[in-house]
Amino acid sequence: IVLTQSPGTLSLSPGERATLSCTASQSVSNNYLAWYQQKLGQVPRLLIYHASSRATGIPDRFSGSGSGTDFTLTISRLEPEDFAVYYCQQYGTSVLTFGGGTKVEIK
């Protein structure tokens, strides 16, 4: 399954809402889709699994939604620490795949 993330770069200001898209080339089984955040020079961090379940310790301003082939990560109000690259990943097949990433940068 090929995952396409859009936009490639999102330029926003702190306090704004961010909407990130992940589109799969075929339906993701059981909505087995995760989102990760990676800040510059750091290790990725799990945000969301099963499309909409927040991982332990993740603030509720992060939410995931979607099903089938279309998934969305929403950050309700951007905090300064949220500017990073975000990756979606599907695990509904035996071969897992990541999307190419969306960079959320400060406008």
- Residue of 95, 100, 18 lying closest to 64 (CA atoms): 18
**Residue (of 80, 104, 82) closest to 6 by Cα position:** 104
Does residue number 27 form part of the binding site for other proteins (CB under 8 A)?
A: no
Rule CB under 8 A: is residue 54 a binding residue for other proteins?
A: no
Does position 38 bind other proteins by CB under 8 A? yes
Please state, as a whole number, how many other Cβ atoms lie within 10 Å of the Cβ of residue 58. Answer: 16
Pairing, β 53-54 against β 102-106:
unpaired
3-state secondary structure of 30: helix
CA distance 76 to 84: 15
Of 21, 23, 55, 61, which one interacts with other proteins (CB under 8 A)?
Answer: 55
Of residues 44, 52, 61, 63, which one binds other proteins by CB under 8 A? 44
Segment contacting other proteins by CB under 8 A, of 10-18, 34-42, 59-67, 73-81 = 34-42
**# of chain residues touching other proteins (CB under 8 A):** 24
- Chain residues that interact with other proteins, rule: CB under 8 A: 32, 34, 36, 38, 43-46, 49, 55-56, 85, 87, 89, 91-92, 94-101
